[in-house]
Amino acid sequence: MLAACAMFACMDASMKALAGHYPPLQVTALRGLTSLPLVCLYIVWRRELGAVAGRHVRWGLHLLRGVIGVLMLALFTTGLRTLGLAEAYTLSFVAPLLITILAIPLLGEPVKPRHWTAIAVGFAGVVVALRPSQAAFLSVGALAILGAAVGYSVFSVLGRLIGRTEPSSSLVLWTTVCMAVIGGALALPQWVPVRAEHALILAGLAVSGFLGQLAISEAFRHGQAAAVAPFEYSALAWAMLIDWMFWHTVPDAWTLAGAAIIIASGIYLVRRELPTSTEAARAEPRDPSPSRGSPSMSGD
């Protein structure tokens, strides 16, 4: 999750740069189109063609997840047009809370009191760090980010549900295909010719999006949703760094104090969960079923 947040922060910066020149749905389509060659090469290199296109593939869930992913990125890109990364991340941080709630009925995962405590403390740290104004919450961009957060919560839980029977490479491939095909079809009526000067931004979008999607699929495939979700708060640190590097914005003392609270909540959760996770991994029987992918991909 930490690696995924770093990659997605770079991806979001690329999308924000492109959002000023292209419609949101086209940016979503470009996200899929640029990453698709990397995804295909990775699957061929891993020799997982059978694993991602066999009879066990749950096409309905993949299609639903892909449609939600397209809408999620389109809404997030819309929000980035008017909001900075810091404001956008403030609103999107409601997603871990929603993921935890959805994990109860959809995944049947128990949620321990310390999970709720860590997530609540982390969210409080976000409020301390960014102190969002009422005007920001009531803007069209803010509503788009909130809609994206809801979509991302369902998107993540569906990914973990699919990941119980399929390798993460299957999640990455079919989500990317949906972004390219569905996003491209929806963006076609208002398609704007891509400029040559944006080639480097598109390359960064492709690499960061591919690596981030692979990392987050692994995170929710192997980790309990309630335990993994709080680490999404680490995106705040990357947002501050990117804001400083590209938009020359320096965080104030309140932002640093909030970041400290968020990091502390994540470290607390790791220290509480690591022994239990290790013991469970030792006790869990190995499943050599080919439907779970290669040993390194499935964690077996």
Residue 163: the pLDDT is 79
Q: pLDDT-based confidence at 270, cuts 50/70/90?
A: low
Find the range with the poorest average confidence among 17-21, 58-62, 284-288.
284-288
pTM of structure: 0.74
Residue 185: the pLDDT is 94
Q: pLDDT-based confidence at 224, cuts 50/70/90?
A: confident
For residue 86, being part of any structural domain is answered with: yes
For residue 210, being part of any structural domain is answered with: yes
Tell whether the model's pLDDT for residue 287 goes beyond 50.
no
Neighbouring CB atoms inside 10 A of 132's CB total: 16
User: In which domain, by residue range, is 53 found?
Assistant: 2-111+133-188+198-224
CB 142 within 8 A of CB 83: yes
- Both structure tokens of 227: 């335990």
- Both structure tokens of 56: 């066990």
Residue 96: the pLDDT is 67
Most confident of 50-54, 161-165, 195-199, 288-292: 195-199
User: Which amino acid is located at 232 in the chain?
Assistant: E
CB 149 within 8 A of CB 95: yes
**CA pair distance 101, 95, nearest whole angstrom:** 10
Find the range with the poorest average confidence among 28-37, 78-87, 178-187, 280-289.
280-289
**CA pair distance 54, 43, nearest whole angstrom:** 14
For residue 55, being part of any structural domain is answered with: yes
For residue 207, being part of any structural domain is answered with: yes
For residue 208, being part of any structural domain is answered with: yes
For residue 274, being part of any structural domain is answered with: no
What pLDDT digit, counting tens, does each position of 238-266 carry? 887 887 888 777 666 776 777 678 777 76
For residue 202, being part of any structural domain is answered with: yes
- Both structure tokens of 29: 């389509």
For residue 259, being part of any structural domain is answered with: no
Q: Report the number of distinct structural domains present in the chain.
A: 1
Q: Which DSSP state fits 139?
A: S
What pLDDT digit, counting tens, does each position of 182-219 carry? 999 999 999 999 999 999 999 999 999 888 877 887 78
Residue 271: the pLDDT is 60
Half-sphere CA count of 165, side-chain side, radius 13 A: 12
Chain mean pLDDT for the chain: 78
**CA pair distance 145, 147, nearest whole angstrom:** 5
